[in-house]
Amino acid sequence: MIEDKRVTEAAPKKEQRRKFQAIRGTRDLLPPGTALWNHVEETAHAVFGTFGFGEMRPPIFEPTELFARAVGGDTDIVSKEMYSFAESPEPNDPKAVFVKKALDLGLGVEVDDFEKAFGELSSLATISLRPEATASVCRAYIEHNMQQLPQPQKLYYMGPMFRRERPQKGRYRQFYQIGAEVLGGVDAPAIDAEVIEMVMTFFDKLKLPGVQLEINSIGHAADNCRRGYVALLKSELEKVKDKLGADSQRRIEANPLRVLDSKLEHEQPIIATLPKIADHLCDDCKTHYAAVKRELELRGVFYKENWRLVRGLDYYMRTTFEITAQGLGSQNAVCGGGRYDGLVELLGGPPTKGIGFAIGEDRLILSLQEAKDAALATGNQPPFVYIAWMGANAYAAAVRAAKNLRAAGIRVELPPVEQKFGKALERASKLGAQYALILGDNEVAEGTWTLKTLADGTQQKFTEPHLLDFLKKL
């Protein structure tokens, strides 16, 4: 048990008084900034709803194995960036009982002992904070037999993700994504285009500045398609290996496609001469890609093709896309996504088509904040009234007024202790109130209340019901 030092020691030692700070790469989102987060999320609910998507809320931690299998054990995300920990056994779990008994007897406990006793060492699996949510959505699709529901299932989610990356502007260890997935049904190119159209509509609604969509097709895993291309790419990379940096050299072996992602200046001219995947797609993937482009054009969605767009997760095939926005510096990808037919099957489900995206909400907000006009568009704020009351009778009326005004959706600040009117008005301005409702014993006796507009100092007198009507109409 953790001892509470406040109880056992009279005066806390200096080190116990140390101030805590949010862990590196995490941050507090505070008011009034959170209003913009809410506006963004409400806009997502509204826009995604018009495309027929329903919200789901998967858990924040899952078995590590789920992410390893879905995202890929060799990816940076899984091999370096996940927060994983061993699940401690429940108190009456046979393994826990076994360990306790052994320790009580003064015996050491070896991993082998578990295996001998239970033959189920694998169940001592680790769990991980989710670094992304596509794996969870596919897991849920399988777990809840969603393939038996009308297809495709169109789902979206929003919430925190966790990756142990080096923090910088637009890159955090706890960050937020708003994502959507279409699972099941067919792999018609119209679905790819509609999913992209949905993100672009959302960004448009938010007036996100400088939005640019890049698309690519990375084909499918077959010798006459991506596998053939990767083999060719690898052999071409071997020829220029000496000119590449250490990271790219390592990737030639582990994942040659990822070399195309390199941002290193001196590697750019070398990469420019490498074979391009578009020239090595199989006929079906080529046809699919051409149709996706036509479907985007039909929807008036502007795109740029980028043959180097390969993405950092293993589950993609065919369509991949990324969207960048203004004001973000090097971390300017505000959305990434693509098609992942086969992922559900890889996780133990039936053969299922899939496509989706995730928006980096932190980056989206940063970009909106840089473009000040858009940041101001946080929806209609309710009127804000400060109740300046003085006197016992006035206080009772003030409490009643606060209740009625709040019930009508008006923001009310009711000072908990009496203040002189001058002080009250000063505080009302400081808090940014638009109105001060002046309630003294005289006002209560007369039954007419005074509403002061703080911006210009004008005053109007109202009876209680008229006041409500007036504020509700604002």
Is there a contact between 245 and 356 (Cβ–Cβ < 8 Å)? no
The stretch among 3-11, 201-209, 355-363, 446-454 that binds ligand HAM (CB under 6 A) is: 355-363
| Beta carbon nearer to ligand HAM, 362 or 443 | 362
Burial 140-174 (b: 16+ CB within 10 A, else e): bbbeeebbeeeebbbbbbbebbbbbbeeeebbbbb
Closest chain position to ligand HAM (CB): 360
Is there a contact between 318 and 339 (Cβ–Cβ < 8 Å)? yes
Region class of 354: left (phi > 0), else alpha (psi between -120 and 50), else beta: beta
* Separation of alpha carbons 239 and 139, rounded Å: 41
| Beta carbon nearer to ligand HAM, 179 or 383 | 179
Q: Which of 219, 338, 349, 383 binds ligand HAM (CB under 6 A)?
A: 338
Is there a contact between 187 and 193 (Cβ–Cβ < 8 Å)? no
Q: Which of 177, 248, 352, 450 binds ligand HAM (CB under 6 A)?
A: 177
Q: Is 152 in the site for ligand HAM (CB under 6 A)?
A: no
Tokens of 100: 């306790």
| Beta carbon nearer to ligand HAM, 132 or 295 | 132
Q: Is 69 in the site for ligand HAM (CB under 6 A)?
A: no
DSSP 169-222: TTB-SEEEEEEEEEESS---HHHHHHHHHHHHHHHHHHT-TT-EEEEEE---SS
* Of residues 33-62, those binding ligand HAM (CB under 6 A): none
Q: Is 76 in the site for ligand HAM (CB under 6 A)?
A: no
DSSP 103-119: HHTT----HHHHHHHHS
* Separation of alpha carbons 363 and 32, rounded Å: 18
| Beta carbon nearer to ligand HAM, 185 or 382 | 185
Q: Is 443 in the site for ligand HAM (CB under 6 A)?
A: no
| Beta carbon nearer to ligand HAM, 172 or 435 | 172
Q: Is 336 in the site for ligand HAM (CB under 6 A)?
A: yes
* Of residues 356-375, those binding ligand HAM (CB under 6 A): 356-358, 360, 362-363
| Beta carbon nearer to ligand HAM, 366 or 388 | 366
Residue 167 CB, nearest approach to ligand HAM (Å): 8
Is there a contact between 82 and 64 (Cβ–Cβ < 8 Å)? yes
The stretch among 61-69, 85-93, 290-298, 335-343 that binds ligand HAM (CB under 6 A) is: 335-343
Beta carbons within 8 Å of 71's beta carbon, 6+ residues apart: 77, 78, 131, 132, 135, 313, 314, 315
The stretch among 36-44, 168-176, 245-253, 415-423 that binds ligand HAM (CB under 6 A) is: 168-176
* Of residues 294-313, those binding ligand HAM (CB under 6 A): 313
| Beta carbon nearer to ligand HAM, 14 or 166 | 166
Strand pairing of 384-390 and 411-413?
Answer: parallel
Peptide bond into 32 cis (omega under 30): yes
Q: Looking at residue 126, what DSSP letter applies?
A: E
| Beta carbon nearer to ligand HAM, 166 or 372 | 166
Residue 259 CB, nearest approach to ligand HAM (Å): 18
Q: Is 261 in the site for ligand HAM (CB under 6 A)?
A: no
* Separation of alpha carbons 66 and 176, rounded Å: 20
The stretch among 186-194, 207-215, 302-310, 330-338 that binds ligand HAM (CB under 6 A) is: 330-338
Is there a contact between 304 and 213 (Cβ–Cβ < 8 Å)? yes
Q: Which of 190, 333, 374, 454 binds ligand HAM (CB under 6 A)?
A: 333
| Beta carbon nearer to ligand HAM, 232 or 374 | 374
| Beta carbon nearer to ligand HAM, 218 or 335 | 335
Q: How many residues line the site for ligand HAM (CB under 6 A)?
A: 25
Binding footprint of ligand HAM on the chain (CB under 6 A): 132, 134, 163, 165, 170-172, 175, 177, 179, 181, 313, 333-338, 340, 356-358, 360, 362-363
